[in-house]
DNA sequence: AAAATGTAAACTGTCGACAGTTTACAACGG
DNA sequence: CCGTTGTAAACTGTCGACAGTTTACATTTT
């Protein structure tokens, strides 16, 4: 565990305390400040944030229900250690949601939304050029999330983001990326084109296929390396 | 609000208190003991269950994150009042998950799982005969849930059940059922056959189409009646 | 009579403390 | 030297109480 960004904590007034704590903790866990498997010490966090344990516990329970933490009775909350088996499951779900999002996005797309897609296409290209795997990973997620946003289904967006967050807890999440960098760009180009051409069926199928491929590549990379 | 089933509360030992409260409250809300829009009074529930407010609050926060309750700052938790707009969203998501589940279930199906599907097929038939809309609604959900279980993806199952629970909060959820009763049985027969024949593509397509149809029927029924 | 204002009750948000369990560790026995 | 047992520290789970906000109601004003 590591330093706290106490700045945001001060914005008491509007948001409720547990929401602020929730966001703060989520950010820190996803940023890697806590290791998977590590226990979260309620008292310590309460002391660091200068609040009592009650709101901390409520926030942690929220993180547990979103799949980022794990509750063990009388032992506390632990950062979840996502296993390949679960990544497999999550990828399948993400694929189904991606396909739905692609269909709806293609159906609803309007020209003024084009920059929201092209922005991330551009960023991905830059990161491929620079061989910046981390940057590419983020731009890639942002691209897909933009599609879900355009799909205009708030519940879908919430679930999608939840799945992405959980998957990012998987230690070797970006293991398969290096090999994909080149091919990936062209696939995303086609996806963006199908959406901007208002072709739901095509966008849906491309996305379904794309996510399935990504999953296979990752799982193959894991079995190849066995780095744990 | 109404009576409490205090029986289950006694099983302290194994499960944690907030889990018991969570299940208890969830059951009561879904059973209709609380009206959509109604406020949940923490103190009253704490008194009724004979515990303090702390575990109650943690359980309620969980229910809020699962979409059953709504948090309003400094005003408390309210039973969510699901609107047609959101049912529309949830149906689309459920459709995508149904299709995925159908594909995976058809791929993984083994003969010894047949009774799990046929049981609910039988129940649906009985309820159609008796024109018992409520019973049919439950058997129908159980049938689809059985498919998701056979798909063998625990995360998918959790999400699926979450969506079904939220949809059941929609007041006119069963509005469209009466008209469907007859046709529906044959459709489900085909779905079950595709799964037991290990035909993923067919099962997936049938389910996708089926859910879409159900959504259209319901939304049409709502607009027709406008009963709110 | 309707609107505005002020006040008390009700309720949520947060806190500090205690009870019960788990964990870490030292003393003991093989 | 290794395993066992017992004890203390650490931590979670729960509680009762208080502070601050919202809500309901009675009073006043137009």
Distance CA A162, CA B159 (A): 11
Residue contact B73–A18, C-beta within 8 A: no
Which one, of A97, A163, A61, A155, lies nearest residue B170 by Cα? A155
Q: What residues 59-88 of chain A have any CB closer than 8 A to a CB of chain B?
A: 61-62, 65-67, 71, 73, 86
Are both A54 and A146 inside the same structural domain? Answer: no
SS (H, E, C) B32-65: CCCCCCCEECHHHHHHHHCCCHHHHHHHHHHHHH
Chain A span 39-58 residues with beta carbon within 7 Å of strand C: 50-55
Are both A112 and A201 inside the same structural domain? Answer: yes
What is the structure's pLDDT at B226? 61
- Mean pLDDT of chain A, nearest integer: 90
Distance CA B196, CA B210 (A): 18
Mutate: best of A25, A69, A92, partner B, most B CBs <10 A: A92
Average pLDDT over residues B165-170: 94
The partner residue sitting opposite A93, judged by closest CB among B57, B89, B156, is B156
pLDDT digits (tens, 9 = 90+) for A109-131: 999 999 999 999 999 999 998 98
Total structural domains within chain B: 2
Distance from CA of A61 to the nearest CA of B (A): 7
Q: Which nucleotide is nearest to A41 (CA to C1')?
A: D11
Does the C-beta of A57 come within 7 A of strand D?
yes
> Domain ends where: A64, A79, A94?
A79
The verdict on residue B1 lying in a domain is no
Distance CA B12, CA B21 (A): 10
Whether the per-residue pLDDT at B164 is higher than 90: the answer is yes
Percent of chain B with pLDDT over 70: 90
The confidence band for A5, taking pLDDT boundaries of 50, 70 and 90, is very low
Does the C-beta of B74 come within 7 A of strand C?
yes
Q: Are B190 and B206 in contact (CB under 8 A)?
A: yes
The verdict on residue B3 lying in a domain is no
Residue contact A92–B66, C-beta within 8 A: no
Whether the per-residue pLDDT at A71 is higher than 70: the answer is yes
Does the C-beta of A59 come within 7 A of strand D?
no
What is the structure's pLDDT at A11? 42
The verdict on residue A15 lying in a domain is yes
Backbone angles phi, psi at B39, to 5 degrees: -85, 145
How is the beta sheet containing B39-40 ordered, strand by strand? B39-40, B76-79, B69-72
Task: Transcribe B180-192 into DSSP letters.
Answer: HHHHHHHHHHHHH
Are both B114 and B138 inside the same structural domain? Answer: yes
Residue contact B156–A97, C-beta within 8 A: no
Residue B121 in contact with partner chain A when CB distance is under 8 A: no
Which one, of A184, A77, A84, A98, lies nearest residue A133 by Cα? A184
Structure tokens at A48: 């660091």
> Domain ends where: B34, B64, B79?
B79
Backbone angles phi, psi at A185, to 5 degrees: -55, -45
Instruction: Give me the CATH number covering residue B51.
Output: 1.10.10.10
Are both B103 and B213 inside the same structural domain? Answer: yes
> Domain ends where: B79, B103, B125?
B79
Whether the per-residue pLDDT at A3 is higher than 50: the answer is no
Residue nearest D15, CA–C1′ metric: B52
pLDDT digits (tens, 9 = 90+) for A14-53: 578 999 999 999 999 999 999 999 999 999 999 999 999 9
Are both B69 and B162 inside the same structural domain? Answer: no
What is the structure's pLDDT at B5? 42
Residue contact A93–B104, C-beta within 8 A: no
Are both A99 and A192 inside the same structural domain? Answer: yes
Distance CA B132, CA B117 (A): 20
Structure tokens at A124: 């991905």
Are both A103 and A185 inside the same structural domain? Answer: yes
Are both A106 and A215 inside the same structural domain? Answer: yes
Which one, of A151, A210, A160, A99, lies nearest residue B98 by Cα? A99
| Residue B39 β-bridge partners | B78
pLDDT digits (tens, 9 = 90+) for A137-151: 899 999 999 999 999
The verdict on residue A3 lying in a domain is no
Place of tokens 């159900």: B214
Instruction: Give me the CATH number covering residue A219.
Output: 1.20.120.530
Q: What is the dihedral of CA A60, A66, A68, A74, to 10 degrees?
A: 50
The partner residue sitting opposite B92, judged by closest CB among A54, A93, A100, is A100
User: Which has more pLDDT, A129 or B111?
Assistant: B111
Does the C-beta of A15 come within 7 A of strand C?
no
The verdict on residue A207 lying in a domain is yes
What is the structure's pLDDT at B174? 74
Q: Are B108 and B152 in contact (CB under 8 A)?
A: yes
Query: Within 13 Å of residue A189, how many CA atoms lie on the same side as its CB?
Result: 7
What is the structure's pLDDT at B2? 40
Query: Within 13 Å of residue B210, how many CA atoms lie on the same side as its CB?
Result: 24
Q: Are A89 and A170 in contact (CB under 8 A)?
A: no
pLDDT digits (tens, 9 = 90+) for B74-90: 999 999 999 999 999 99
Residue B58 in contact with partner chain A when CB distance is under 8 A: yes
Whether the per-residue pLDDT at B121 is higher than 50: the answer is yes
Are both B197 and B179 inside the same structural domain? Answer: yes
Are both A169 and A62 inside the same structural domain? Answer: no
Does the C-beta of B53 come within 7 A of strand C?
yes
Chain A span 90-119 residues with beta carbon within 7 Å of strand D: none
How many other β-carbons are positioned within 10 Å of the β-carbon of residue B50? 8
Domain of B153 in residue numbering reads as 84-225
Q: Which nucleotide is nearest to B43 (CA to C1')?
A: C11
Residue contact B100–A93, C-beta within 8 A: yes
The verdict on residue B143 lying in a domain is yes
Nearest chain B residue to A153 by CA distance is: B89
Residue B147 in contact with partner chain A when CB distance is under 8 A: no
Are both A214 and A116 inside the same structural domain? Answer: yes
The verdict on residue B2 lying in a domain is no
The partner residue sitting opposite B93, judged by closest CB among A54, A57, A159, is A159
Are both B91 and B202 inside the same structural domain? Answer: yes
Task: Transcribe A122-178 into DSSP letters.
Answer: HHHHHHHHTT-HHHHHHHHHHHHHHHHHHTT-HHHHHHHHHHHHHHHTSTTTTTTHH
Distance CA B125, CA B137 (A): 12
How many other β-carbons are positioned within 10 Å of the β-carbon of residue A195? 31
pLDDT digits (tens, 9 = 90+) for A160-197: 999 999 999 998 777 776 667 777 889 999 999 999 99
The verdict on residue A2 lying in a domain is no
Average pLDDT over residues B7-31: 77
């Amino acid at each position: 565990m590591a330093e706290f960004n106490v700045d945001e904590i001060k914005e008491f007034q509007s948001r409720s305390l547990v929401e602020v704590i929730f966001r703060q903790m989520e950010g820190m866990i996803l940023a890697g400040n806590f290791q998977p498997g590590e226990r979260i010490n309620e008292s310590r966090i309460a002391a660091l944030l200068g609040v009592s344990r009650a709101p901390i516990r409520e926030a942690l329970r929220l993180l547990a229900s979103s799949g980022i933490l794990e509750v063990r009775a009388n032992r506390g909350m632990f950062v979840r250690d996502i296993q390949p088996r679960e990544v497999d499951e999550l990828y399948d779900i993400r694929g189904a949601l991606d396909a739905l999002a692609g269909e709806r996005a293609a159906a609803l797309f309007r020209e003024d939304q084009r920059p929201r897609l092209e922005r991330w296409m551009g960023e991905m290209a830059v990161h491929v050029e620079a061989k910046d795997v981390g940057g590419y990973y983020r731009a890639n997620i942002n691209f897909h999330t933009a599609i879900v946003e355009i799909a205009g289904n708030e519940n879908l967006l919430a679930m999608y983001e939840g799945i992405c967050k959980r998957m990012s807890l998987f230690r070797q999440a970006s293991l398969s990326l290096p090999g994909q960098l080149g091919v990936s760009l062209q696939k995303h180009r086609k996806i963006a084109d199908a959406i901007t051409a208002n072709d739901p069926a095509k966008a849906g199928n491309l996305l379904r296929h794309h996510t399935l491929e990504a999953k296979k590549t990752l799982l193959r990379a894991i079995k190849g390396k066995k780095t744990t």
